[in-house]
């Protein structure tokens, strides 16, 4: 890790979403995450949301979140898998990066419908799951009164 302090850098609309710096190339993941991010960005823009594309620059070995929906106050990270280890890794990145944004709600943008166990895990940690369904997006917000950080 460098001695430099972490910081947020904003990305231009032409800057590719994937691959993220420091993450091994995975064509399937890169393609599916880029596609769902582009679709979600268009979806939010069509609803009149102001959305910033960004990277949190820390250690070059670490991935970063993808979008900050200024209008909704949501920090968004795309994840193409819903198995346990992928969700734990994504939660770690969200929890680490949220400190750079003003009290964000955490959102994990998935490429497919998550199973009940994945939705329960995310709800427990107060993370909203979002995934595409046709031309729209479905949200599973955390249950009221759930525990979590």
Question: Does 12 fall in a domain?
Answer: no
| Owning domain of residue 45 | 41-140
CATH number at residue 78: 3.40.1350.10
Question: Does 113 fall in a domain?
Answer: yes
Q: How many domains does the chain have?
A: 1
Question: Does 3 fall in a domain?
Answer: no
**Highest mean pLDDT pick, 13-17, 27-31, 120-124:** 120-124
Tens digit of each residue's pLDDT (9 = 90 or more) over 83-135: 888 899 889 889 988 988 889 999 999 999 999 999 999 999 999 999 999 98
| Average pLDDT score over residue span 51-72 | 79
Question: Does 120 fall in a domain?
Answer: yes
Question: Does 19 fall in a domain?
Answer: no
Strand 105-110 with 51-57, pairing? unpaired
Tens digit of each residue's pLDDT (9 = 90 or more) over 1-14: 445 677 777 776 66
Question: Does 146 fall in a domain?
Answer: no
Q: What is the pTM of this model?
A: 0.83
Question: Does 9 fall in a domain?
Answer: no
Question: Does 125 fall in a domain?
Answer: yes
Residue 144 burial (CB < 10 Å; 0-12/13-18/19+)? exposed
């Amino acid at each position: 890790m460098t001695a430099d302090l972490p910081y947020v850098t904003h990305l231009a609309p032409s800057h590719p979403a994937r691959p993220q710096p420091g993450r091994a190339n995975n064509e399937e993941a890169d393609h599916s995450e880029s596609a769902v991010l582009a679709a979600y960005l268009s979806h939010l823009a069509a609803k009149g949301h102001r959305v910033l594309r960004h990277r949190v620059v820390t250690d070059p070995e670490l991935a970063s979140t993808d979008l900050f929906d200024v209008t909704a106050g949501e920090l968004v990270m795309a994840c193409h898998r819903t198995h346990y280890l992928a969700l734990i890794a994504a939660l770690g990145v969200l929890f680490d990066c949220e400190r750079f944004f003003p009290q964000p709600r955490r959102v994990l943008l998935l490429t497919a419908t998550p199973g009940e166990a994945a939705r329960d895990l995310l709800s427990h940690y107060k993370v909203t799951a979002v995934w595409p369904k046709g031309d729209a997006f479905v949200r599973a917000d955390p249950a009221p009164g759930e525990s979590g950080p």
